[in-house]
Amino acid sequence: MKLAVWTTERIVSWKQLLLAGLFCLLSIPVFAQPDASVSMADQRANSVTQVVLGILSYARWPVEPVQLRLCVVGPTEYTDDLLKGTTQATGRPVVVRRLLANYPAIASECDAIYVGKLTNEERSMLFASLTGHPVLSISEGGDQCTVGSLFCLRVSDNQVSFEVNLDSVARSGVRIHPSVLQLSRRKAAAP
């Protein structure tokens, strides 16, 4: 009698162990998927950093800064990598910091601005404060090229491309190498 109870408990224990193991195996894809999306987000942030550094390397200011001051304005999706600070291929350091759109000295303390999501009023105030100052602006979103940004990024899973607002470039006081302007005209590769 004692033996029958022990055998039944042993069978129940094995069933529970088997069920727990099966649960663990089935839950691996669920837990692995967020890691895949995190690495994709990291990949996009890295790609944005490379494109931004590329654009900055083909820009010339009236007085070349010893270290480039890049200011990030507004909430952004892809600046995690940029905010760590970096160095251009030429060896010039890029100092990155976050500022509010209404920061009074933004035009004199920034050589370039990476613009995130702003209200229309914030965007208008920001670009009004940059008028007459040699500041390169890069917008993360898509529709800002018509509102004052020199460059507008187009971020997808496969690549980062950009558009150029030639009118804003002409008025910015920053010279952009023609090669960068040609790159903006290239069509994205078909998936």
- What is the arithmetic mean of pLDDT over 162-177? 91
At residue 86, the pLDDT reads 85
Kindly state the average pLDDT of the residues 81-102. 89
Burial class from Cβ neighbours inside 10 Å (0-12, 13-18, 19+) for residue 57 reads middle
pLDDT (tens digit, 9 = 90+) per residue, 140-150? 976 657 678 99
Domain 49-185 has CATH 3.20.20.210: no
Residue of 85 and 36 predicted with greater confidence: 85
Q: What is the domain partition of the chain in residue ranges? A: 49-185
Q: What is the mean pLDDT of residues 11-32?
A: 42
Spatial contact of 154 and 44, defined as CB atoms under 8 Å apart = no
* Contact (Cβ atoms closer than 8 angstroms) between residue 101 and residue 144: no
**What is d(CA 101, CA 147) in angstroms, rounded to the nearest whole number?**
15
Confidence grade of residue 31 (pLDDT, cut at 50, 70, 90) = very low
Q: What are the φ and ψ backbone dihedral angles of 127, each rounded to 5 degrees?
A: -70, -30
Contact 137, 130 (CB under 8 A): yes
Give the pLDDT band (50/70/90) at residue 157: confident
Structure-block tokens of residue 53: 């550094």
Instruction: Answer yes or no: is pLDDT of 56 > 70.
Output: yes
152 sits in which H/E element: strand 151-155
Cβ neighbours, 10 Å, residue 103 = 15
